Structure 1
Amino acid sequence: LQRVDEQEAVQKRTFTKWINSHLAKRVPPLVVTDLFEDIKDGVMLLALLEVLSGQKLPCEQGKKLRRIHWVANIGTALNFLEGRKSAYRGSPIKLVNINSTDIVDGRPSIVLGLVWTIILYFQIEELTSSLPALQALSSSTSSLNSSTSSTETTSPPVKKKPLPPVQGGARKALLRWVQQIATKHLGIEVKDFGPSWRTGVAFFAVILALRPNVVDMERVWRRSNRENLQEAFSLAETELGIPQLLDPEDVDVDKPDEKSIMTYVAQFLKHHPDRQHSDSEGFPSNFAREQRKSLREMKMWLDQLERDATQAQETEGNLTQQYQLFKSLRVQLEMRRKQVEGALHSTQKDGMLTVDQALVKQAWERVSNRLLDWHLQLDRALPAPLGMVGVWLHQAEGALRQEITVQQAHDETANTVHRALEQHKVSIKAEVTD
């Protein structure tokens, strides 16, 4: 129950800011202060739909409005929505478990379900359906997961009707857009609209894809979640004019609200440089520049780590201090492993790496070998017999790596390993005997 209350509170804040960002365009502008109260008479709701649709809607107005007028206004809004057609399927919008009296009563779950439906159809669906490379996803889903259902609604519970598949399609299209233009090629894994966004890095990846010169990813990797989130929202507003719909403290939690994050992320779609003229892969025209910049930053970081490792290896200190230095640098390298592996995924038709990718690969191998040599040096310095065991383990690892390639057949590989290990056993026995 507490989780539901927290989720409703986050959605209320996000949806209110989203509504106000549109009502600010109205003449005269309107402002919603308490969503559940201000929506009851239907005046704000009809004003929002007018701004979004560009159509004039009949509305009962005045200070002496009674409940019957409120119900009429809400009914006008719901009928208007149900008369609209889905941009994905061409069929009418379905409002599941949403009725006028529940909105007039200000029932939180119903109000939020209605606003989410409006956001989904008037923003997320319309914007994603205009990306040609993503249109194939529009009919790819026939069922939805719970995070995208439009109405977590009534109490007592009622038998729910099947939900329209368009929501799953729009969600998948938005997620794929993020992955294709922003995160995949930086080695950042974004598989949902929840925990994947907690660190703030994914938001910066999207901004970087649209405005390559305003993001310093090196600083992003070093900052805390809250600092990243605040900076990303501020940067998106100043550079792209995107309202700050989210609060950092609402995103930096174990399970951020997916609908709120989708509402915010969808705003970036309006700034896709080639939204109407995407190529077959859905990449923006400046993708190559973004990728080169990211790869060069990655290489600079790896080069610096190699210099730090060299300097640390030469620094005097006892063995414990040396191990601590080694461990800290090794952890830094491992934290970037997925990012580097993602960046080395070839996007060329022939499957070859670009020059920048090849340079990153070389830099990664250099720093990896540097740390491997240092590790061996530290293990050799251990007091007997640990030092000898450490050396033996390193040699065994080398033997396992030697001459074993993907192309070799299983039997040949097994024989290679067996011969290498047998030879190693003979040499280690000789050392012990001596």
Structure 2
Amino acid sequence: MTTVIETQVQYDNTYMMSTTEGYMTQEDDWDRDLLLDPAWEKQQRKSAEIVDGNLKMTLGMIWTIILRFAIQDISVEETSAKEGLLLWCQRKTAPYRNVNVQNFHISWKDGLALCALIHRHRPDLIDYSKLRKDDPIGNLNTAFEVAEKYLDIPKMLDAEDIVNTPKPDEKAIMTYVSCFYHAFAGAEQCKMCKLGSVCVND
């Protein structure tokens, strides 16, 4: 009788030890440094706030995505992202009267810079000579409508909001302008590729 009891105890101890060892092995596989990393914890809190509907966090996440996929890869003569896009705009609009692009907020309020960008690449779409600096809402709406109809660039901004705001939202303007860069710069690259192909074939 004593032998049976001792065997049962030995079996139970062995089972418990093997179960515990398996559990501890699994726990040891965890990345403890990651779990204790303040940056990781902060990211988890941000994720929770986005799920809970925190508007500021959601907009921040959207801007991060836009920056990564629409603006960060822009490169113009050793300048990239925001600076590269600004340089591109300055060069394209330089010949146009009443246009002086220095930033991504006030410089775009009267709508002439947007119309100049369109006219520079597609002069058939806008008669720039008929535009007036004292009609910012008309200029902006013209640019928005032409861009949406002929360039497949969706209307992301509101003309009245831009005009009535002392300093329009820089991120919103930059995002919208980056669409023109990708539309026109991409077309220019295609033309260069075609010309190169023709030269090689000749």
Under TM normalisation by the shorter chain, which class is it? 0.5 to 0.7
Task: Output the CA distance in 2 between the equivalents of 1:118 and 1:171.
Answer: 15
Task: Output the CA distance in 2 between the equivalents of 1:277 and 1:136.
Answer: 22
Alpha-carbon distance change, 178 to 221 in structure 1, aligned in 2, over 3 angstroms: same
Q: Is 2:68 the counterpart of 1:118?
A: no
Aligned 8 A contact 2:112 2:133 in 1:
no
Alpha-carbon distance change, 176 to 197 in structure 1, aligned in 2, over 3 angstroms: same
Q: Which residue of 1 aligns with 2:144?
A: 233
Aligned 8 A contact 1:200 1:228 in 2:
yes
Structure 2: give runs of 5+ residues left out of the alignment.
1-38, 196-202
Aligned 8 A contact 1:220 1:228 in 2:
yes
Distance apart, 1:276 and its partner CA: 6.3
Q: Which residue of 1 aligns with 2:54?
A: 107
Aligned 8 A contact 2:110 2:133 in 1:
no
In structure 1, give the amino acid aligned to 2:95. H
String of CA shifts for 1:93-142, please: whole Å, max 9, x gaps. x99x652112112212211111000001111123x14xxxx15113xxxx
Q: Is 2:156 the counterpart of 1:245?
A: yes
Distance apart, 1:270 and its partner CA: 2.2
Structure 1: give runs of 5+ residues left out of the alignment.
1-93, 139-169, 279-284, 286-434
In structure 1, give the amino acid aligned to 2:172. S
Residue 221 of structure 1 aligns to a residue whose secondary structure is coil
Task: Output the CA distance in 2 between the equivalents of 1:267 and 1:175.
Answer: 13
Q: Is 2:121 the counterpart of 1:210?
A: yes
Alpha-carbon distance change, 223 to 241 in structure 1, aligned in 2, over 3 angstroms: farther
Q: Is 2:189 the counterpart of 1:275?
A: yes
> % of aligned pairs identical?
39
Task: Output the CA distance in 2 between the equivalents of 1:238 and 1:277.
Answer: 22
In structure 2, give the amino acid aligned to 1:271. A
In structure 1, give the amino acid aligned to 2:96. L
Task: Output the CA distance in 2 between the equivalents of 1:275 and 1:120.
Answer: 22
Task: Decide which of 98, 108, 112 is 1:201's aligned counterpart.
Answer: 112
In structure 1, give the amino acid aligned to 2:174. M
Distance apart, 1:236 and its partner CA: 0.9
Distance apart, 1:221 and its partner CA: 2.0
Aligned 8 A contact 1:208 1:215 in 2:
yes
Distance apart, 1:256 and its partner CA: 0.3
Task: Output the CA distance in 2 between the equivalents of 1:258 and 1:197.
Answer: 10
Q: Which residue of 2 aligns with 1:137?
A: 79
Aligned 8 A contact 1:210 1:271 in 2:
no
Q: How many residues align?
A: 148
In structure 2, give the amino acid aligned to 1:136. E
Task: Output the CA distance in 2 between the equivalents of 1:198 and 1:103.
Answer: 32
Residue 84 of structure 2 aligns to a residue whose secondary structure is helix
Task: Output the CA distance in 2 between the equivalents of 1:221 and 1:192.
Answer: 21
Aligned 8 A contact 1:119 1:263 in 2:
yes
Counterparts in 2 of 1:26-425, with a 5 A limit?
Answer: 98=43, 99-126=46-73, 128-129=74-75, 134-138=76-80, 170-181=81-92, 183-187=93-97, 188-221=99-132, 224-252=135-163, 253-272=165-184, 273-275=187-189
Alpha-carbon distance change, 218 to 111 in structure 1, aligned in 2, over 3 angstroms: same
String of CA shifts for 1:276-312, please: whole Å, max 9, x gaps. 677xxxxxx9xxxxxxxxxxxxxxxxxxxxxxxxxxx
Task: Output the CA distance in 1 between the equivalents of 2:160 and 2:124.
Answer: 27
In structure 2, give the amino acid aligned to 1:185. P
String of CA shifts for 1:213-253, please: whole Å, max 9, x gaps. 22111221265111111111001111211100101112112
Q: Which residue of 1 aligns with 2:16?
A: none
* Structure with greater helix share of residues: 2
Q: What TM-score, normalized to structure 1?
A: 0.32
Residue 94 of structure 2 aligns to a residue whose secondary structure is helix
Task: Output the CA distance in 1 between the equivalents of 2:61 and 2:142.
Answer: 31
Task: Output the CA distance in 2 between the equivalents of 1:180 and 1:231.
Answer: 22
Aligned 8 A contact 1:207 1:215 in 2:
yes
Distance apart, 1:255 and its partner CA: 0.5
Task: Output the CA distance in 2 between the equivalents of 1:269 and 1:237.
Answer: 15
Task: Output the CA distance in 2 between the equivalents of 1:180 and 1:222.
Answer: 20
Structure 1 residue ranges (4+ consecutive) displaced by more than 3 angstroms after TM superposition: 275-278
